[in-house]
Amino acid sequence: MTRSPIIDREELAELLVSPEPPALLDVRFVLSVDGGGPTGRAAFEEGHLFDAQFVDLDVDLADPPGERGRHPLPDPGRFAAAMRRVGVRMDRAVVVYDQADGSAAARAWWLLTHHGHDDVRVLDGGYDGWVAAGGNTTALVQSVEAGDFVARPGRRKVLDVDGTAALAREGLLLDARQPERYRGEVEPIDPVAGHIPGAVSASTRDNVTADGRWRSADDLRERFAALGAGTAGEIGAYCGSGVTAAHEVLALELAGYDAALYPGSWSEWVADPARPVATGGA
Secondary structure of 91-130 in the HEC alphabet? CCCEEEECCCCCCCHHHHHHHHHHCCCCCEEEECCHHHHH
Q: How far is CA 36 from CA 31, 45, 183, 209, in A?
A: 10, 17, 27, 28
Q: φ, ψ for residue 137 (rounded to 5)? A: -135, 170
Task: Assess whether 243 carries a catalytic annotation.
Answer: no
* Model pLDDT, residue 38: 56
8 within 8 A of 124, measured Cβ to Cβ:
yes
Angle at which helix 217-226 crosses helix 244-254, to 10 degrees, equals: 110
Residue 39 has pLDDT above 90, yes or no: no
Confidence class of residue 102 from pLDDT cuts 50, 70 and 90?
Answer: very high
Residue 36 has pLDDT above 60, yes or no: no
**Would 6-132 and 161-269 be classified into the same CATH topology?**
yes
In this structure, which CATH number among 3.10.150.10, 3.40.250.10, 3.40.50.720, 3.90.420.10 belongs to the domain 6-132?
Answer: 3.40.250.10
CATH of region 161-269: 3.40.250.10
Residue 150 has pLDDT above 50, yes or no: yes
Task: For 202-249, write each residue's pLDDT tens digit.
Answer: 999 999 999 999 999 999 999 999 999 988 789 999 999 999 999 999
One-letter amino acid identity for 65? P
Where do the structural domains in the chain lie, given as residue ranges?
A: 6-132, 161-269
Percent of the chain with pLDDT over 90: 93
121 within 8 A of 4, measured Cβ to Cβ:
yes
- Flag the least confident range among 6-10, 27-31, 274-278: 27-31
Given 3-state DSSP classes, what are the helix, strand and coil percentages for the chain, each rounded to the nearest 5? Answer: 30, 15, 55
d(CA 167, CA 175): 12
d(CA 256, CA 240): 24
- Catalytic: which of 100, 239, 243, 261? 239
